[in-house]
Amino acid sequence: MKINLYFTPGEFQEEDLRDSTAVVVDVLRASTTICYALKNRCREIIPAAEVEEAVRLARQWQADDVLLCGEREGQRIEGFDLGNSPLEYKRSVVEDKILVHSSTNGSFVLVKAKASLKTYVAGFVNLQAVVKALLENGESVAILCAGKLGRFSIEDAVCAGMIVKSLQQHDAKIQIADSAVAAKILFEKYSSNILGLLQNCEHGRYLISLGLMKDLEVCAQVSTIDVVPTYRDGVIKKNMR
Ligand code: MLT
Protein backbone atom coordinates (compact mmCIF):
# COMPACT_ATOMS: atom_id res chain seq x y z
CA MET A 1 0.00 0.00 0.00
CA LYS A 2 1.23 3.52 -0.89
CA ILE A 3 -0.29 6.78 0.33
CA ASN A 4 -0.36 9.84 -1.88
CA LEU A 5 -1.82 13.06 -0.51
CA TYR A 6 -2.86 16.20 -2.36
CA PHE A 7 -3.42 19.42 -0.40
CA THR A 8 -5.47 21.10 -3.14
CA PRO A 9 -7.58 19.82 -6.07
CA GLY A 10 -5.24 21.46 -8.59
CA GLU A 11 -2.36 19.16 -7.58
CA PHE A 12 -3.80 15.98 -9.03
CA GLN A 13 -4.99 14.78 -12.39
CA GLU A 14 -7.63 12.10 -12.89
CA GLU A 15 -4.99 9.60 -14.06
CA ASP A 16 -3.14 9.97 -10.74
CA LEU A 17 -6.05 8.13 -9.12
CA ARG A 18 -6.41 5.17 -11.48
CA ASP A 19 -5.01 2.42 -9.27
CA SER A 20 -6.00 3.94 -5.93
CA THR A 21 -8.84 4.32 -3.53
CA ALA A 22 -9.45 8.05 -3.26
CA VAL A 23 -10.42 9.67 0.04
CA VAL A 24 -12.00 13.13 -0.20
CA VAL A 25 -11.50 15.23 2.93
CA ASP A 26 -13.64 18.35 3.42
CA VAL A 27 -13.94 18.75 7.17
CA LEU A 28 -15.84 22.06 7.09
CA ARG A 29 -18.39 20.87 6.26
CA ALA A 30 -19.22 18.66 3.22
CA SER A 31 -17.59 15.46 4.56
CA THR A 32 -19.25 15.85 7.95
CA THR A 33 -22.63 16.69 6.41
CA ILE A 34 -22.49 13.70 4.07
CA CYS A 35 -21.75 11.42 7.06
CA TYR A 36 -24.71 12.83 9.00
CA ALA A 37 -27.05 12.44 6.03
CA LEU A 38 -26.10 8.77 5.52
CA LYS A 39 -26.16 8.06 9.26
CA ASN A 40 -29.72 9.43 9.24
CA ARG A 41 -30.68 7.05 6.44
CA CYS A 42 -30.97 9.22 3.36
CA ARG A 43 -31.34 6.93 0.34
CA GLU A 44 -28.31 8.27 -1.51
CA ILE A 45 -26.44 11.49 -2.25
CA ILE A 46 -25.66 12.82 -5.71
CA PRO A 47 -22.85 15.38 -5.78
CA ALA A 48 -23.14 18.23 -8.28
CA ALA A 49 -20.24 20.60 -8.92
CA GLU A 50 -22.54 23.40 -10.17
CA VAL A 51 -25.86 24.77 -8.87
CA GLU A 52 -27.52 24.57 -12.27
CA GLU A 53 -26.51 20.92 -12.60
CA ALA A 54 -27.98 20.17 -9.18
CA VAL A 55 -31.31 21.69 -10.17
CA ARG A 56 -31.30 19.71 -13.45
CA LEU A 57 -30.41 16.44 -11.69
CA ALA A 58 -33.16 16.89 -9.08
CA ARG A 59 -35.81 17.02 -11.81
CA GLN A 60 -35.34 13.25 -12.40
CA TRP A 61 -37.43 12.45 -9.35
CA GLN A 62 -40.80 13.26 -7.85
CA ALA A 63 -40.52 16.41 -5.70
CA ASP A 64 -41.39 14.43 -2.53
CA ASP A 65 -38.50 12.02 -3.11
CA VAL A 66 -35.64 14.48 -3.52
CA LEU A 67 -34.04 17.33 -1.58
CA LEU A 68 -31.82 20.02 -3.11
CA CYS A 69 -28.92 20.62 -0.71
CA GLY A 70 -25.84 22.77 -0.59
CA GLU A 71 -24.13 26.04 0.02
CA ARG A 72 -22.26 28.84 -1.63
CA GLU A 73 -20.12 31.06 0.62
CA GLY A 74 -21.22 28.84 3.49
CA GLN A 75 -24.93 29.70 3.23
CA ARG A 76 -27.87 27.72 1.85
CA ILE A 77 -28.30 28.23 -1.88
CA GLU A 78 -31.45 30.25 -2.58
CA GLY A 79 -34.36 27.96 -3.41
CA PHE A 80 -32.63 24.86 -2.02
CA ASP A 81 -34.20 22.74 0.73
CA LEU A 82 -31.08 22.41 2.93
CA GLY A 83 -27.78 24.23 3.36
CA ASN A 84 -24.55 22.49 4.40
CA SER A 85 -24.85 22.34 8.17
CA PRO A 86 -24.68 18.73 9.39
CA LEU A 87 -27.32 19.57 11.99
CA GLU A 88 -29.92 20.21 9.25
CA TYR A 89 -29.67 16.58 8.08
CA LYS A 90 -31.89 15.12 10.79
CA ARG A 91 -33.51 11.71 10.30
CA SER A 92 -36.97 13.30 10.19
CA VAL A 93 -35.79 15.44 7.27
CA VAL A 94 -33.58 13.16 5.16
CA GLU A 95 -34.69 9.56 5.81
CA ASP A 96 -35.31 7.73 2.52
CA LYS A 97 -34.74 10.91 0.49
CA ILE A 98 -32.43 11.32 -2.48
CA LEU A 99 -30.15 14.28 -1.80
CA VAL A 100 -28.70 16.26 -4.67
CA HIS A 101 -25.82 18.08 -2.99
CA SER A 102 -23.62 20.93 -4.23
CA SER A 103 -20.96 22.44 -1.99
CA THR A 104 -18.32 24.93 -3.07
CA ASN A 105 -15.28 22.70 -2.78
CA GLY A 106 -16.23 19.21 -1.61
CA SER A 107 -18.55 18.42 -4.53
CA PHE A 108 -15.96 19.64 -7.03
CA VAL A 109 -13.29 17.27 -5.70
CA LEU A 110 -15.69 14.33 -5.55
CA VAL A 111 -16.65 14.75 -9.19
CA LYS A 112 -12.96 15.14 -10.16
CA ALA A 113 -12.10 11.89 -8.32
CA LYS A 114 -14.33 9.71 -10.50
CA ALA A 115 -11.34 7.94 -12.18
CA SER A 116 -10.37 6.26 -8.88
CA LEU A 117 -11.12 2.60 -8.09
CA LYS A 118 -13.58 3.94 -5.56
CA THR A 119 -13.87 7.13 -3.53
CA TYR A 120 -14.54 7.42 0.18
CA VAL A 121 -15.56 10.61 1.99
CA ALA A 122 -13.78 11.30 5.29
CA GLY A 123 -13.95 13.86 8.05
CA PHE A 124 -12.93 13.63 11.70
CA VAL A 125 -16.39 12.24 12.53
CA ASN A 126 -15.94 8.99 10.59
CA LEU A 127 -12.17 8.73 10.52
CA GLN A 128 -11.67 5.31 12.06
CA ALA A 129 -14.43 3.80 9.92
CA VAL A 130 -12.63 5.03 6.78
CA VAL A 131 -9.22 3.83 8.04
CA LYS A 132 -10.68 0.37 8.72
CA ALA A 133 -12.15 0.20 5.21
CA LEU A 134 -8.84 1.29 3.63
CA LEU A 135 -6.92 -1.38 5.57
CA GLU A 136 -9.45 -4.05 4.54
CA ASN A 137 -9.08 -2.97 0.88
CA GLY A 138 -5.29 -2.97 0.97
CA GLU A 139 -5.24 -0.80 -2.18
CA SER A 140 -3.05 2.28 -2.56
CA VAL A 141 -4.64 5.46 -1.23
CA ALA A 142 -4.89 8.96 -2.67
CA ILE A 143 -6.07 11.44 -0.03
CA LEU A 144 -7.65 14.47 -1.68
CA CYS A 145 -8.01 17.58 0.49
CA ALA A 146 -10.82 19.81 -0.75
CA GLY A 147 -9.20 23.03 0.44
CA LYS A 148 -11.05 26.28 -0.18
CA LEU A 149 -11.41 27.84 -3.64
CA GLY A 150 -8.31 26.00 -4.82
CA ARG A 151 -6.21 26.99 -1.81
CA PHE A 152 -4.77 25.04 1.14
CA SER A 153 -7.06 24.44 4.17
CA ILE A 154 -5.22 23.43 7.32
CA GLU A 155 -8.21 21.57 8.79
CA ASP A 156 -8.35 19.24 5.79
CA ALA A 157 -4.58 18.71 5.94
CA VAL A 158 -4.72 17.84 9.67
CA CYS A 159 -7.57 15.38 9.12
CA ALA A 160 -5.64 13.84 6.21
CA GLY A 161 -2.58 13.59 8.49
CA MET A 162 -4.66 11.73 11.07
CA ILE A 163 -5.66 9.21 8.40
CA VAL A 164 -1.98 8.75 7.43
CA LYS A 165 -0.92 8.25 11.05
CA SER A 166 -3.74 5.79 11.73
CA LEU A 167 -2.89 3.73 8.64
CA GLN A 168 0.80 3.65 9.58
CA GLN A 169 -0.02 2.53 13.12
CA HIS A 170 -1.62 -0.59 11.60
CA ASP A 171 1.03 -1.16 8.91
CA ALA A 172 4.45 0.43 9.48
CA LYS A 173 5.62 -0.72 6.03
CA ILE A 174 3.22 1.62 4.18
CA GLN A 175 5.11 3.89 1.74
CA ILE A 176 4.02 7.51 2.14
CA ALA A 177 4.58 10.53 -0.09
CA ASP A 178 6.36 13.63 1.27
CA SER A 179 3.00 15.44 1.40
CA ALA A 180 1.67 12.68 3.67
CA VAL A 181 4.70 13.08 5.94
CA ALA A 182 3.95 16.82 6.19
CA ALA A 183 0.26 16.23 6.90
CA LYS A 184 1.11 13.75 9.67
CA ILE A 185 3.36 16.33 11.32
CA LEU A 186 0.53 18.87 11.15
CA PHE A 187 -1.83 16.35 12.77
CA GLU A 188 0.66 15.65 15.56
CA LYS A 189 0.84 19.39 16.27
CA TYR A 190 -2.95 19.91 16.45
CA SER A 191 -4.20 16.50 17.63
CA SER A 192 -4.76 17.62 21.22
CA ASN A 193 -7.25 20.36 20.27
CA ILE A 194 -9.19 19.70 17.07
CA LEU A 195 -11.96 22.14 18.02
CA GLY A 196 -9.39 24.86 18.60
CA LEU A 197 -7.97 24.16 15.14
CA LEU A 198 -11.42 24.54 13.57
CA GLN A 199 -12.18 27.71 15.53
CA ASN A 200 -8.95 29.36 14.37
CA CYS A 201 -8.62 28.24 10.74
CA GLU A 202 -9.75 30.56 7.93
CA HIS A 203 -12.98 28.79 7.07
CA GLY A 204 -13.81 28.11 10.70
CA ARG A 205 -13.51 31.81 11.55
CA TYR A 206 -15.76 32.60 8.57
CA LEU A 207 -18.38 30.07 9.69
CA ILE A 208 -18.30 31.56 13.22
CA SER A 209 -18.94 34.99 11.64
CA LEU A 210 -22.09 33.45 10.12
CA GLY A 211 -23.21 32.25 13.57
CA LEU A 212 -22.31 28.61 12.85
CA MET A 213 -20.11 27.79 15.86
CA LYS A 214 -22.26 24.69 16.56
CA ASP A 215 -21.20 23.30 13.19
CA LEU A 216 -17.54 23.48 14.24
CA GLU A 217 -18.32 21.53 17.42
CA VAL A 218 -20.00 18.83 15.35
CA CYS A 219 -17.20 18.73 12.75
CA ALA A 220 -14.54 18.43 15.49
CA GLN A 221 -15.96 15.17 16.89
CA VAL A 222 -13.59 12.25 16.19
CA SER A 223 -14.80 8.84 15.00
CA THR A 224 -18.32 9.23 16.38
CA ILE A 225 -20.02 8.00 13.19
CA ASP A 226 -19.46 4.49 11.85
CA VAL A 227 -20.23 5.29 8.22
CA VAL A 228 -18.03 5.03 5.11
CA PRO A 229 -19.63 7.21 2.41
CA THR A 230 -18.63 5.59 -0.89
CA TYR A 231 -18.88 7.42 -4.20
CA ARG A 232 -19.23 5.29 -7.27
CA ASP A 233 -20.97 5.83 -10.65
CA GLY A 234 -22.07 9.30 -9.67
CA VAL A 235 -23.76 8.32 -6.40
CA ILE A 236 -22.66 8.32 -2.74
CA LYS A 237 -24.04 5.47 -0.64
CA LYS A 238 -23.17 4.06 2.77
CA ASN A 239 -20.44 1.46 3.28
CA MET A 240 -20.08 0.10 -0.26
CA ARG A 241 -16.68 -1.48 0.49
C1 MLT B 1 -16.98 23.22 1.01
O2 MLT B 1 -17.44 22.44 0.20
O3 MLT B 1 -16.00 23.92 0.84
C4 MLT B 1 -17.63 23.37 2.33
O5 MLT B 1 -18.42 22.30 2.57
C6 MLT B 1 -18.26 24.72 2.41
C7 MLT B 1 -19.13 24.90 3.64
O8 MLT B 1 -19.94 24.02 3.95
O9 MLT B 1 -19.00 25.92 4.32
Most informative mutation of 50, 76, 85, 103 for ligand 1 (most atoms within 8 A of CB): 103
Distance 85 CA to ligand 1 centre (A): 9
Residues 95-118 have pLDDT tens digits of 999 999 999 999 999 999 988 989
Spatial separation of the C-alpha atoms in residues 120 and 107, rounded to whole Å: 13
**CATH topology assigned to domain 2-228:** putative 2-phosphosulfolactate phosphatase (3.90.1560)
Distance CA 113, CA 129 (A): 20
- Is residue 6 classed as helix, strand or coil in its secondary structure? strand
Q: How far apart are CA 193 and CA 43, in angstroms?
A: 34
pLDDT one-digit tens code per residue, 165-211: 999 999 989 999 999 999 999 999 999 999 999 999 999 999 999 99
Q: Taking the complete model, does pTM exceed 0.95, yes or no?
A: yes
Residue nearest to atom 3 of ligand 1 (CA): 105
Residue 81 region, left (φ>0) first, then alpha (ψ -120 to 50), else beta? Answer: alpha
User: How does residue 53 score in pLDDT terms, banded at 50, 70 and 90?
Assistant: very high
pLDDT for residue 225 is more than 60 = yes
Q: Domain map of the chain by residue range?
A: 2-228
Residue 125 Cα, ligand 1 centroid: separation in angstroms?
16
Identify the helix (H) or strand (E) that includes residue 33.
helix 30-39
Q: Whose CA is nearest to atom 9 of ligand 1?
A: 74
